[in-house]
Amino acid sequence: MEKIYCEGCGAEIQTEDKTKSGFVPQSALSNEHIICQRCFRLKHYNEVQEVEYTDDDYLRMIHQVSDTNSLVVKIVDIFDFNGSFISGLQRLTGKNPVILVGNKVDLLPKSTNHNKLIHWMKKTASDFGLTVQDVFLVSAAKGQGFEQMEAEIEARRNGKDVYVVGCTNVGKSTFINQLINRSSGVKDAITTSYFPGTTLGFIQIPLDEKSYMYDTPGVVNRTQLVHYVTDKDLKLITPKKEIKPKVYQLQDKQTLFLGGFARFDFEKGVKQSFVCYVSNLLMIHRTKLDQADTFYEKHVGDLLQPPSPETMEMLPPLVKQTMKIPYDKTDIVIPGLGWITVPEGGVTVSIHVPKGVHISLRSALI
């Protein structure tokens, strides 16, 4: 049988074992668009599986890296660091040294403190149990930061092979394309797309006579927001151009809606200007906190859009998390969307995000 891959997660389609990834009933094979049963459930019944990662086959493939003597280049999306981080990577890649690359730096406002971001990435990686040799910020789309990174990779690999790993949608294909383009002048050697799970199989790129760079399959991380939105909505929430910060002066008991994807309640604290760093296309609405529930119920899917009605069918419900922000200049990071800067600490806020999305705090980048 010709190999078919799930359009949702990229797993190889099979009809034998229900418990393994890529399963579909025989009858579904005749469908024009084939998605595995797991993605189907996710899409239609909103059954979110709270697992670290799902696609065992992918992980098994990446695990092969631990048997090699190589350099690992791990790519993350700086707008979705937590969502695009493969936890347990150290176990998968063995003793090989890891270089961490934060992609999509072109989207950050010019005033971003890159060193602070690098420091935060290093620390967060270490909190996840991954020791990294170095961190680079690049734009795979624009080639920004490549010269320095390439020189470092070349120095560190010391003649060894290089394995490029990352979750789906972090820009791994774009990254490899950029490298190929820079070394050979060939454009778009590998297909890129908005949709996660499009890079399949190991792609081998010669580095010199003896060594190769391998593009590994993108690991699907179910906590990534990208798995719960339509491609149209993904285009709206994914920043496309340099982010223009939006400032909102709020008193306590006021609420901001980031489209209908996230909600920020200013519960308690002094009046101040919060700064939202999200896609320029994502509409932000301000309401009174005591009216926010009703406002959301009434307007999600229309005024509070995205999510579109189609996305709403697969988006997990918003879950509230209340927290005290002790320090001045703190970023509340919402993986997949962006972040909100709280200028003055000593405040209490509640954040509502789709179930499964993990928010975090860091010292403000700007």
Measured from the CB atom, the residue of 139 and 308 that comes closer to ligand GDP is: 139
Contact between 166 and ligand GDP by CB under 6 A: the answer reads yes
CB 341, CB 366: distance < 8 Å: yes
Distance CA(68)–CA(212), nearest Å, equals 12
**Closest residue to bound ligand GDP by CB:** 171
Stretch that binds ligand GDP, among 66-74, 138-146, 251-259, 325-333 (CB under 6 A): 138-146
Which CB, 264 or 277, lies closer to ligand GDP?
277
Q: Is 106 in the site for ligand GDP (CB under 6 A)?
A: yes
- The C-alpha atoms of residue 122 and residue 157 are separated, in whole angstroms, by 20
Q: Is residue 172 at the binding interface for ligand GDP, with CB under 6 A as the rule?
A: yes
CB 164 within 8 A of CB 214: yes
Name which of 106 and 265 has its Cβ closer to ligand GDP: 106
Shortest distance, CB of residue 67 to ligand GDP, whole angstroms? 24
Strands 134-137 and 98-103: parallel
Q: Can you read off the two tokens belonging to residue 121?
A: 């990435």
Token code pair at residue 225: 């927001």
CB-CB contact of 105 with 78 (8 Å): yes
User: In the numeric block, which tokens belong to residue 139?
Assistant: 């734009």
How many Cα atoms within 13 Å fall on the side-chain side of residue 289?
A: 14
| Residue whose CB is less far from ligand GDP, 142 or 253 | 142
3-state secondary structure (DSSP) of residue 246: strand
Choosing from 21, 82, 169, 254, the residue that interacts with ligand GDP (CB under 6 A) is 169
CA distance 16 to 271: 60
Residue from 21, 54, 96, 173 that binds ligand GDP (CB under 6 A)?
173
Amino acid at 356: G
For the segment 177-216, give every residue that binds ligand GDP (CB under 6 A): 192-194, 196, 198-199
DSSP 279-324: -TTS-EEEEEHHHHHHHHHHHBTTTB-SSPHHHHHHSPPEEEEEEE
* Residue closer to ligand GDP, measured from CB, 197 or 259: 197
Q: CB of 142: closest distance to ligand GDP in angstroms? A: 6
Whose Cβ is closer to ligand GDP: residue 53's or residue 266's? 53
Among 104, 157, 227, 263, the residue binding ligand GDP under the rule CB under 6 A is 104
| Beta carbon nearer to ligand GDP, 77 or 265 | 77
Q: Of these, 10, 22, 171, 260, which contacts ligand GDP (CB under 6 A)? A: 171
Find the binder of ligand GDP among 54, 93, 103, 279 (CB under 6 A).
103
- As a whole number of angstroms, the longest Cα–Cα distance in the chain is 67
User: How many residues in total does the chain contain?
Assistant: 366
Q: Phi, psi (5° rounding) for residue 305? A: -130, 145
Secondary-structure breakdown of the chain: helix, strand, coil percentages, each rounded to the nearest 5: 30, 25, 45
Task: Give the interface segment with ligand GDP, choosing from 47-55, 85-93, 170-178, 319-327 (CB under 6 A).
Answer: 170-178
State the virtual CA torsion across 258, 261, 262, 263 in degrees, nearest 10.
Answer: 70
**139 makes contact with ligand GDP (CB under 6 A):** yes
Q: Which is nearer to ligand GDP, 174 or 255 (CB)?
A: 174
| Least Å from the CB of residue 287 to ligand GDP | 31
Compute the least distance from the CB of residue 200 to ligand GDP, in Å: 10
Distance, in Å, from the CA atom of 4 to the CA atom of 197, rounded to the nearest integer, reads 13
Please identify which residue in 170, 207, 292, 342 interacts with ligand GDP, judged by CB under 6 A. 170
CB of 215 to ligand GDP, least distance (A): 8
List interacting residues with ligand GDP (CB under 6 A).
103-104, 106-107, 139-141, 166, 168-174, 192-194, 196, 198-199, 218
